Structures are given as structure tokens and as C-alpha cells.
Structure 1
Amino acid sequence: MTRPTPRSTILRVGDEIRWGGDAFTVAALTAEHVRLVDAAGAPTVARLPDLLGDPALEVLSGPTIAPLRSLDSLPAEVVEAARWWERHIVEVLTGLPPDPDARQRSKPKYDAGLRSLRQRELAKVEELTLAGHRIGWSTLKRRRLDYERDGIWGLVDQRATRGRSPAGRVDARVVEAVARAIAEETDRSTGTVSRLRRRTEQLLAAEHGPGVVALPAQRTFYRLVARLSQGKHTFGSARTRRSLAKQPEGPFSTLVAARPGELMQIDSTPLDVRVVLSDGQVDRVEMTGLVDLATRSIAALVLAPSTKSVDAALLLARALTPEPMRPGWSDALRMSRSVLPHRSLTSVDQRLAEAAARPVIAPETIVFDHGKVFLSQNFRSAARALGISLQPAHPDTPTDKPVVERTLGSVATLFAQHVAGYVGSSIERRGRRAEESAAWSMIELQGLLDEWVITVWQNRPHEGLRDPITPDKALSPNEKYAALVAAAGHVAVPLSADDFVELLPSTWRVINSYGIRIARRTYDAKALNPYRRQHSGVDHKNGRWELHYDPYDVSRVWIRNHHHGGWITATWTHLRTTPTPFGELAWQHAREILARRGNDHATEAEIAHAAADLLDRAENGPPTNESKSSARTRRVVGRTEATARAQPKPAPQQDDDTEPAAIAEAPMAKVIPLGVFDPFEEARKRW
């Protein structure tokens, strides 16, 4: 039971006190000293702080202040009973009920000037008895003394204030066994209480011997389990149960970043939206996002059928590249129309004058999980080139990067559920015939997502961006960025075209007379003439030249000029005979198709023709023979066309001479315009 709080005392001149075992009377008080007189009349002067701070001080007379306690934790009927006693006792003490009217007068039988306290108490006992309440004078007197000592808390039924153990009166050994059994349920499939009861019996028998500790009755056991498993989802969702078990046991809080880019978090998650791939197949895609902790800005957010290490590396480049305005976007989305400090940013990079209102944030530290995409050498090399520190989260601990986890979840709540093709996060949340609804293509959905980030997310007040000085005002990511840039004193310089190429995967090749060959593809350019069959000057690479390539756009490669600096752009010799963009994944898949046909020594032209046939079949729709269109083929097609997005790349060299012979002699193909995908028209079709 909780001990009562000591009463607060008012010390005044004339009060009697007991201090140091002797009785004194307060004769005088000052701001710092108190004059005391004992029973013999001998004066004593003491420092007031020493007197009041002595726990042995006891005030024998004088008014007291009842301790203040909250009644909110008590049952309503207990509080109402205490209020009922208070109304009658206050009337006995003062002659008036609590909160009387200004014109109200006390009853003669409760008038303190005419009746003694005992007479008033007897009159109240008589009044309550006539009203049907059998209360004796001693009970009323005890209640009055309790009220004078502890206020209304003295009138509360103290049985309601006693704390109860969650286990009640159950044997402590049973409670311990039930707690262990509940902890074991974390990684198991969800079961019932009966299975938990059987496991508890096994634990008790193993620990204390069979039959030594008896289990309580079934209803008592069920109540015990309900109390001990509260908030753990022991008999609910297994996914939620495992997620709750990953939370730290002790107190934890979110790190606070003082400037944009100081701490960022990256993660991937499936998007609960059906997307139309190029071959007409519909499937969900993965969404990879990079979020800034200080401003809650989404620095980059991309969609792909499956996240690759190159996607994570190019995500860094996208975060450091201005978002260009696109046709059809509102003029209000320009950076020059936003709260961002566009004048100072434009002075750093003129490309920002025509950019959309998304800040360019240079990451300093990125927190990531242990996915193989983020542990890849490609992603680490890109971060190292940009001077970014990588900080891996603890294994199986999502609370190490809660901001990006919650942000990607918010995208599903604020954006995905309003998009055609939304199917929910599980079968239980899926609507009727959701698979038959209209859906966007990958490229169209990426465009909508980019526009939504700039239009909604960057301008939406965020609960995590409340200033400690003015907590009633929530800032938007763009507003927080504008405020922190002024405080940080620096801005991020966007990546140049050459910097973007530096982030691409690299390899080393020899420049031959026919150009450069990579993965059986030949690239050539007039600018390579002075360097054919020449030593690059890099001895540890045996004179080979450094080459960078985009796995999702094999139309060209970039060769580092080790002699004079800069980059040399070389185009694919079969560029005019194959649809572009043409990804590395589709190229490799085409080679595998030919290998299965028995053509192990396929020529480059045959591979290009097989790849073109693959894209043609995807464009014309699913074939009648299902064996010709495997699940992997559909994934390759969707990934190839969906991930080929425009990026800032160095422009090709403008040579005075003609293009390479293989390109110049190729006939120009007839341009066939494609219609615009209309989801509403597709929804009205009967398949």
C-alpha cells in the first residue's frame, strides 16, 4: 500500500513546534531567521532554511494544507462516495455546503456561532439517519478528522487505492512458467491458449517435477495469460508479434540531426499497387527511398520490379541531381515559386533555375539494413566516391532506421491507396475483383510518384518537424530545409554530368582497332582513333582503359581519357538496329535464350536480333504459346523498360567526320508513333 503524502504546513508567529526534542513557540519570523522561545522563556535564533529543512521538525499547532492527489485513477463510484462525504462534513465544519451561493445562509443547527462542533455532528447524524443512512456519531467524527488531516483523499475508500499484481494470487512459479511460454511464442506460428497451457505444464514439470506445481483453474489461467500477454500479440498477428519483440527493452529515442544530409536512411519495400508491365502482365514493384532525417525530405524515390545494387547506387546520384520540371506539371511546382532559398541555390548551380521544388541534399551518413543490395561493392564504391559514411543498422532491428520505415509506409497511406491498381498490403485488405481494375504502367506510375513527392510530401506539415520553441507549428520538409540551410551555413552542390558517370559501374578494356568490346557488344567513336591499341598509362591494369557503363542503357559507354583527362563517349555499333533503351539484364537474358537453343557461339548480330525479338514480343502482348513467355522473361522486359530513365550524362562528342561505318551504313527505321495508355479505356474492355 502507498504511504500517504506528508502534509504541507504553514508556519506563522505564535505556532507551537517541536524541534530537536524540545517544544518552542514561534516569536518572530524574517526572510532568513526565526526567533523561538521555549517553555522557560529562553529565546533561540535559528536560520529559517535549517529549521524548515530539518526532517525532525514537527508543527504542534497552526493551519495545515491537505496533500493534493489526483482522483482520476480511482473508480467513479469511489470518487462519488468521497464527494458525498465531503458535502456533509464541510457543512458540519463551516455551516455551508461546498461552493455555496453568495446569498446562501447556514442552517441554524449547523451555525458555528450558535452550536458547538459536537452538537453540529449530532445534528448531521440525525439528518442522515432520517434520510436512510445508518451512520453513527463515531463514524462521522472519524471521517471529519480524516478530512481535516488529508482532505478529500482521507474520505476515499483506501481499498480502491491498493495496487494489484497482474498475476493476482497465482503461484509465482506458475507466473514465471507462463511468462517463459509467452516469450517462446514470438517466433512460432500463432496458436491458442490451450497450446500455451500445455507448454506451461511441460515447463513446470521440467523445472520442479511432474505434479509438484498445479495449474490454476482454466478461467483463472485464461485471465492470467491475458494480463501477461497484453500488448504482445501472442495470439494475434505473427508479423506484428515479431515486430514488437524487436523493439529495445530500455528507453530509446530518435537521433536529432542539425543540418540537411547529416544523417539519412535508405530502405526498400514492396509497393501495394499493381503495375502494367510492357508485355501486359500485372505485378507489384519494389520502391527504394532515401530520406533525410533533419528535414524528412524524400531525396530520391524510385520504382523497379526488383531492387539491384545499381539501383541503390544510382539512387545516390538521383538525390544529388536537380529534379527537372516536366511537361504538364503546374508552374507552382518550380523551385523559384517555393519556400526554398532558390536565389542562393541558383547561384550555386544554374540548372536549379528550371528545377522543381525538391531540395538537393548531399548525404554525409547513410543508415541501411543488411540487405545484399546495400552491402554490395557497387553501392559502397558509390558512397565512397561521394564521401558518404555508411552505417549499418543492427541485424533484424528496424528501430535503427524508423524514419525511412515510417516514410515508406506513409507513401502507401497517402499516395498508393489513391492510385488505380491498389490492392492493399495483404489478401485480407484486398477489395473484390481488385485484379480486374485499371492499372498504370511503370513509367507513368513513376512520373505520378515524382510529382506527388514534390506537390504533396515536400509541402505537407510533418509531425516530426515541430520546433521546440514553437511546438504548435509543424513545418513542412521544404520549410525545414530552408530554415536549416540558413543555420548550417552551407548548401549541397548538385552532381555534374561527369560526376554522374563516376557513379556508374566500371570495368577495364583495351581499345582495339574496331573499338571497345564489353559483354560481346562493340562500341566505337571517332574520338578513339588516337588511342587505338595504345597503352593507357596505367601499368597495374596492363595498359587497359577504364570504362563506365549504365546497365539499364547500353546505347553508349564512357571511357576515361587517361592521357588528356575527361571522358570519351562511344556508342553501340548496333544502336540503329535495336530498340533503345536496352538494358544489361535483357542483353544477358537474350544470350541465355540462344544458349538453350544450342547456339553456344552466338555472334553479336544474333544476340542483338534475339534481344530485339524479346522486346517485340513484349510490345505485341502475351503469345498464345505460354512456353515462349516465361515468368523471368516478363520480369526482364518490365525491368528493362521501366528502369531506363533519363539521367544527366555527358553529351556525345561532336565530330566533324561521319559516324562509325556500322552506324552510318545502317538504314533508318520507320518511326511508328505509339498511342497513349488510357487506364479508363482499358478498364472498359472485356478480356
Structure 2
Amino acid sequence: MRRLSRPAAIGVGERVRFGGQVRAVLAVSAQVVTLSAEGGSPREIPLAMLLGDESFEVLSSRVRMPLPPVSLLEALPEHAREKALWWEGHILEVLHGTDPAAAGEDAGPRPEYDPARHSLTARERAKAAELTAAGYRVSVSTIGNFRRRYQIEGLLGLADRRPVRKKPQFGKVDDAVVEAMRKALKEGEDDSTRTGTYIIWRTSEILQEAGEEGQEVELPSQATLYRLLAKLSQGNPISGTARNRRSRAHGAKAPFGQWTVFAPGEVVQIDSTPLDVLVRLDDGVVGKVELTGMIDVATRTVTAAVLRPSTKSVDASVLLARTVTPELMRPGWADALRMSRSVLPYRRLLNIDERLEHAAAKPVIVPEMIVCDHGMVFISRNFKASCRFLEIDFQPTHKASPFQKGHVEKMLDSVGTVFAQFVAGYTGRSTDHRGRNLDKQSLWSLPELQELLDEWLVATWQNREHDGLRDPLHPGRSFTPNEKYAALVEACGYVSVALSAEDYIELLPSVWRAVNDYGIRIKRRTYDGPGLIRRQHSGVMEKKGLWEIHHDPYDISRIWVRNHHGDGEWIEATWKHLRHTPVPFGDLAWDHAAQGLPEGTEAEIAEAAAALLTRAHAGPGGTNAKPRKRSRRDKQVAARTKAALPVAIPPPVPNTAPDPEPPQPEEEEPLAKVIPLGLFDPLADPWKTR
């Protein structure tokens, strides 16, 4: 950019080069410049000779004063600004002979202010006499002071700056009182929300504790303390919610940064939140569910989302498996939702990953980094192990800093408004927004709501323009997640991660147990299988010879045992009561039934848990027998447990014997006399005959 320039000027104190020597300017007049000389008296040189010399050069000049803060005039009262402008006209007339605001363009200076006739001091005396005659008591020194302030600070130097003069931040309040109140506010960062009365009381308590140590401090008035509290809590009011205060107190102190992502999966964020929809769980129980979702920052694709009654660490691990697995088309979905009919590069991706042949129009994204908060579900050992298994960088955010994973926070909020409000049983974000008699509506079940959510993500979310996906060269054009993925995959490529059954088992939580003759016992359940290595040391010394076992908390029908004596392959063992209770249920139902029968046998516990689910599935009046009155806990356990998927029952062993002949109808005969069996006496001699 071209800089503005002005003619060279010579002032007193500057250093110039003249006649091959460096000299200092001692005085300047209209025709003569006085320069210093080394070892001699000063020399007067005509200005025309000085400027005409070829070697003349200004080596250094006086430092120009910084630009005065003219904008501060807007902070002054109106009468102060008007007075400053009035003084500016008089000072300009003293300096240049004319007042630009009062005189016309062709008007010359008045005789008493003509710079060619009178010196600056004479002009200042003339201005003081003029203002005194007009009724203003102004001395010559006052005019001189205003003139110098104007030359240094500009118009602001003529204004009365007492209204904007810098004052102490906390007035005359003692520093000890300020520190005591800061300590009281610091103590309440993680506590429940309290009023200012408590903070002031706590401040006085802190001051009294300091007074016992010899530091006597007088407490100001209540009004002063409330003003001090308003200043110290500015930006983080004490009347705000505890969540906001914790977030502001423990948030990052450094300037906010910005992630720059260029490839799908480079940064993926995960979080969970309650879904504002009532769900009709089994046995008629109405309750809420939690939504756990993952979003890709580069494309804003929701890679996976699951609904669970309560989120556990295994849900986060299963979410990883669903992320790297294609979303298959479901029965009843429109054919337009196929990947082959979307903007995604289906044919080229199909040559790389055959799993996409029957996939829906949602990209398969392999995460490189997962960002999560400090929830117990995400910082659990199981989830960290899953990330290491899939070679994913695990990056937790700062505590109480939800803005560091703002993309997934916004996504979960959008699902709660764009999707949930159209679902029957929508409750709103709080009790103030909840309607009446929602539990009496026709509500969706949990599997049905999960099916609706999956279809909505494919049909709506992936084809909905996102404001954060814009072309930098065309800001007015926004893209959908599928369009953004199609554009990025052309430059970044596609990585296929096909999870096998063994990989899925690796993502499940693990326990260590011994393998006995009867099999493996986990929570009073016995599992057995033909390939188990019984009564053998596993070889893992750290676990005292126990065997590593992986299990699914939502399906207790089977477990998998790692073969430490082989190549680490998995040996499947099924629950021995699976044929008697083919309905799958998780640990929650089992533990609840075990509490009801603390001394019961394994078979009795299995029957009790199975009966609980049977009653839940039948609903009110679904059985002939009159059921016992169940507690609210019974209903909740049954409803939450039924969220598990159905388990395939092992086929029975085929019977090769010939089919028996159908029985011939016989005549009815009278029933024989029933002889009751005797009671078993454990203390009696079994070999003694009666």
C-alpha cells in the first residue's frame, strides 16, 4: 500500500549531514538555519544554501507523538465534547492565524493573529485578552497550556477527562476483603447454586478466620459488598446454573483453537445424552432412553447412533463396531435409500469393499481420532482397549469443557429437535415444556424407535444441507454430509476395515474365571461347551491360571473363552439353561432375580428371571394365573432387559429313530389311586429297610 508522504522539514534537535560533516540543528528561522560545529562556534547557514547542497541529508528526526485516542471523546459527556471543540477553534487560530470553522476559505488571518507579523507568544497574549474581554477569565499561561496539550494529544487534550479518569477497580475496598470474597467464590464453583447472601456471609467468616491470626480487617457496608460481588462475579454470575459455573471455572484458559480436518474420520466425536422421547418399554413401562452417537467432523456424518435404557462402556465399544460397518438396507425401507442410488461413489467403493453391495446411503468411516468427555462410559478400560484394538487415537477433552466437542453436542441437540419432536411421546427439553398424559399416548417401543432413528439418519440427516459444510470459494453453497464425503473421498481415498466375528468379540468386556468339570460359572450361571479345556492352568501367571472370558451384558446366553493353550482362538460356551429359557436377558434382570432369591439354586434363578420376562412380555391380563403384585423395580428391570436382541437358539440334535406310530384311541379308564411319596429325611440311614 502506498504511504502518504509530506515535504521534508527541519526542526531543532535533528541531526543533518552538510559539507561532509554531521551537525546538529540548533535553531531554525524563515531564512537561516543554525548548525553546530565541532570545536568551534555555531554557524548560521542560509536555508537556500543548505537545501541546495548535494550532501545534505536529514539523519535523524524527532520522534512523532502517537496518534491520540480520538475515539475516547465519545465516552465523554456532551458538554465536555462541546467545550473541547470550542477550545479547538481558538487554539487553531493561535497556531495558524485562522479558525477553519469560523472563517471562510478565502478569509485571511486577523491582524493580531497573523503568524507573519507576530510571534507565538504575542498571539497567545492576544487570545487571552480577547477571551477576557468576552467575559472569560483566561490567562496567557492557560492559553499556552491548552496549546501545548493540543499539539501533543490533539482534541482530547482540550477536554475535561475527569468523567473517564481511571479509578481503582474496587474503589476503597480493602484488598483483604477482595481476596476473601474471591476465595468464597472459588469454594462454590463445584457446589450447588447459592445466593449473594451466602457469599457475603462466607466472606465474613473467612475474614474472621484471618482475624484470629492477627489480621484485623473491617468489613464494609452491605451495599459495598454487593457491588464488590457484582464486579467479582461478572461473566460468571452466582445465580446461574451449577453446570454453567463449573464449565466457566474449569474450562480451558488458553485461547480457543480450531481443528482443521481434511479427511473423513480424521476427527470423530462421541457423546451421549437422554433423548426427550417417552418409550413404551415391555410390560407397559414408560421411560426415557439415552442416545449415544458419533459424528465425523469433516463430513458431519453420524457414523452410528444407538438407543439404550442406560449407556454402558460396552455400548461405546459396539458403537465403534457399527461405525466401521456398512448400514444395511432394512425391510420396508424405500429403494431410494440405497447407496447405489445416492451421490456417494458407489461403484468405485464396491470394488474395494464388497460389503457395500446391499448398503444404505450412509458412508463407512474409519476413525483416526476419537474425542470424548470424561464420562465413565468413555474413559473406561473397555472403551480405551477398543480404541487401541482399532488403532484409534483416544483424546479426552478438558473437564467441564463441552465446547471442545461442540460438533457432537450440536448433533445431539439437533436430533432432539429435528427428529424427536415429530415422534409420539416427545417430552420437550425440560419439565416446563412437557405436555400432559404423554404416557397414555400410543408410544413406540425401543426397537421400533431405534429402527425409526436409523432410517431417519439415512433419509434425512445425510441428505440435509449443513451450514458448516460450505465451499470456501462459494460461501453461498452448502453441502450435505453425503456430498461432502463424496468430494473428500476423491482426494483422501477410502479405507476398508471389515470386522470379523473375532473382532467383534474382542470389543466385548472381559472377566477371568476358572474352567471346571461342570464348565464356567459367571454370576451363578453355568456355561459349558464341547471345546472347553477343563481343570487346566491357562498359563497366565498374572491371573493365577484363570482363563480370559468375553461376554455381552445384553445377552447372557453365551460367552467366549480365549484358548491360551492354542493360537488365541475363541471357544464358545452356551448357558446350560438356554433351552429352558430361550428369551435373552442381560445382567440387570439376572442380578434382580438373584436378589429376590438369595438362597435359590441356579435353576430357580433362571426360572424366576424367565418368568419375570414372560410376565413383562404378556402384559396385564395376558396369563390365566393371577400374578403376584410387582414392584416398580420389577417392571423397570424387565423393560430395560428386553432391549436386547433375540438370540438364535441352537438347533436340537436330530433324532434318527423311526417315528413312532400314532397312538390308538383307548377307552377311558378310571384313574388309579394316588399314593403320595414320603418326605425325604436327610438324617435317616439310606440302607435301613423299613
Distance 2:277 2:617 in 1: 26
Aligned twin of 2:425: 421
1:660 aligns with 2:653: yes
Match of 2:633, SS state, is helix
1:447 aligns with 2:451: yes
Segment drifting more, 355-364 vs 391-400? 391-400
Aligned twin of 1:678: none
Aligned twin of 1:3: none
Aligned residue runs from structure 1 range 500-511, under 5 A: 500-504=504-508
Aligned twin of 2:597: 595
1:204 aligns with 2:231: no
- After superposition, the Cα gap between the structure-2 partners of 1:516 and 1:158, relative to the gap in structure 1 and judged at 3 Å, is closer
- After superposition, the Cα gap between the structure-2 partners of 1:471 and 1:645, relative to the gap in structure 1 and judged at 3 Å, is farther
Aligned twin of 2:680: none
How far residue 308 of structure 1 moved from its aligned partner, in angstroms, is 2.2
Aligned twin of 2:346: 342
Judge conservation of contact 2:362–2:482 (CA < 8 Å) in 1: yes
Aligned twin of 1:180: 183
Aligned twin of 1:272: 276
Judge conservation of contact 1:322–1:352 (CA < 8 Å) in 2: yes
Aligned twin of 1:101: none
Match of 1:273, SS state, is coil
- Count of equivalent residues: 614
1:285 aligns with 2:264: no
Distance 1:269 1:241 in 2: 20
Aligned twin of 2:635: 634
Judge conservation of contact 1:121–1:137 (CA < 8 Å) in 2: no
Aligned twin of 1:34: none
Segment drifting more, 404-413 vs 214-223? 404-413
Distance 1:617 1:279 in 2: 7
Paired letter, 1:633: D
How far residue 479 of structure 1 moved from its aligned partner, in angstroms, is 4.3
How far residue 305 of structure 1 moved from its aligned partner, in angstroms, is 0.7
Paired letter, 2:594: E
How far residue 306 of structure 1 moved from its aligned partner, in angstroms, is 1.0
Judge conservation of contact 2:397–2:404 (CA < 8 Å) in 1: yes
Match of 1:642, SS state, is coil
Aligned residue runs from structure 1 range 515-554, under 5 A: 540=539, 550-553=552-555
How far residue 478 of structure 1 moved from its aligned partner, in angstroms, is 3.8
Aligned twin of 1:113: 108
Judge conservation of contact 1:590–1:611 (CA < 8 Å) in 2: no
Alignment partner of 1:169 out of 137, 147, 172? 172
Paired letter, 1:359: P
Judge conservation of contact 1:278–1:619 (CA < 8 Å) in 2: no
Judge conservation of contact 1:314–1:503 (CA < 8 Å) in 2: yes
Judge conservation of contact 2:585–2:641 (CA < 8 Å) in 1: yes
How far residue 431 of structure 1 moved from its aligned partner, in angstroms, is 4.7
- After superposition, the Cα gap between the structure-2 partners of 1:195 and 1:505, relative to the gap in structure 1 and judged at 3 Å, is closer
Judge conservation of contact 2:128–2:138 (CA < 8 Å) in 1: yes
Match of 1:18, SS state, is coil
Segment drifting more, 429-438 vs 83-92? 83-92
Aligned twin of 2:586: 584
Judge conservation of contact 1:516–1:522 (CA < 8 Å) in 2: yes
Distance 1:13 1:114 in 2: 26
The Cα offsets for residues 14-46 of structure 1, whole Å up to 9 and x where unpaired, read as 5446324822899xxxxxxxxxx9853665858
Judge conservation of contact 1:536–1:545 (CA < 8 Å) in 2: no
Segment drifting more, 225-234 vs 168-177? 168-177
- After superposition, the Cα gap between the structure-2 partners of 1:636 and 1:65, relative to the gap in structure 1 and judged at 3 Å, is closer
Aligned twin of 2:39: none
The Cα offsets for residues 254-304 of structure 1, whole Å up to 9 and x where unpaired, read as 544443333433333222322221122211222222233444432221111
The Cα offsets for residues 622-652 of structure 1, whole Å up to 9 and x where unpaired, read as 9999964333333333333334289xxxx99
Distance 1:345 1:65 in 2: 63
Distance 2:382 2:246 in 1: 32
Paired letter, 1:248: A
Distance 2:573 2:266 in 1: 38
Aligned twin of 2:18: none
Judge conservation of contact 1:501–1:548 (CA < 8 Å) in 2: yes
How far residue 318 of structure 1 moved from its aligned partner, in angstroms, is 0.9
- After superposition, the Cα gap between the structure-2 partners of 1:348 and 1:128, relative to the gap in structure 1 and judged at 3 Å, is farther
1:491 aligns with 2:484: no
Segment drifting more, 311-320 vs 132-141? 132-141
How far residue 162 of structure 1 moved from its aligned partner, in angstroms, is 3.3
The Cα offsets for residues 590-619 of structure 1, whole Å up to 9 and x where unpaired, read as 8537836x6425279846853652443447
- After superposition, the Cα gap between the structure-2 partners of 1:602 and 1:47, relative to the gap in structure 1 and judged at 3 Å, is farther
Paired letter, 1:168: G
Match of 1:287, SS state, is strand
Match of 1:303, SS state, is strand
Aligned twin of 1:19: 14
Aligned residue runs from structure 1 range 348-387, under 5 A: 348-387=352-391
Provide TM-score, normalisation by structure 2. Answer: 0.69
Judge conservation of contact 1:246–1:396 (CA < 8 Å) in 2: yes
Distance 1:194 1:579 in 2: 62
Aligned twin of 1:57: 62
* Stretches of structure 1 lacking an aligned partner (at least 5 in a row): 1-7, 27-36, 99-105, 525-530, 666-687
* Stretches of structure 2 lacking an aligned partner (at least 5 in a row): 16-22, 29-41, 115-122, 659-690
Match of 1:613, SS state, is helix
Judge conservation of contact 2:586–2:644 (CA < 8 Å) in 1: no
Distance 1:44 1:623 in 2: 121
Segment drifting more, 116-125 vs 323-332? 116-125
How far residue 463 of structure 1 moved from its aligned partner, in angstroms, is 5.9
Aligned twin of 1:103: none
Match of 2:274, SS state, is strand
Alignment partner of 1:238 out of 230, 238, 242? 242
Match of 2:278, SS state, is strand
Match of 1:423, SS state, is coil
- After superposition, the Cα gap between the structure-2 partners of 1:186 and 1:432, relative to the gap in structure 1 and judged at 3 Å, is farther
How far residue 184 of structure 1 moved from its aligned partner, in angstroms, is 2.0
Aligned residue runs from structure 1 range 563-582, under 5 A: 580=583, 582=584
Identity value in percent: 43
Distance 2:97 2:342 in 1: 67
Match of 2:13, SS state, is strand
Paired letter, 2:236: K
How far residue 204 of structure 1 moved from its aligned partner, in angstroms, is 2.4
- After superposition, the Cα gap between the structure-2 partners of 1:156 and 1:200, relative to the gap in structure 1 and judged at 3 Å, is same
- After superposition, the Cα gap between the structure-2 partners of 1:454 and 1:630, relative to the gap in structure 1 and judged at 3 Å, is same
Judge conservation of contact 2:593–2:605 (CA < 8 Å) in 1: no
- After superposition, the Cα gap between the structure-2 partners of 1:490 and 1:153, relative to the gap in structure 1 and judged at 3 Å, is farther
Paired letter, 1:57: R
- After superposition, the Cα gap between the structure-2 partners of 1:205 and 1:445, relative to the gap in structure 1 and judged at 3 Å, is same
Judge conservation of contact 2:98–2:109 (CA < 8 Å) in 1: no
The Cα offsets for residues 38-96 of structure 1, whole Å up to 9 and x where unpaired, read as 85366585888xx4xx6x6357xxxx996575459726747964896599679978989
Distance 2:532 2:500 in 1: 31
How far residue 358 of structure 1 moved from its aligned partner, in angstroms, is 2.4
Larger Rg: 2
Match of 2:355, SS state, is helix
1:220 aligns with 2:250: no
Aligned twin of 2:322: 318
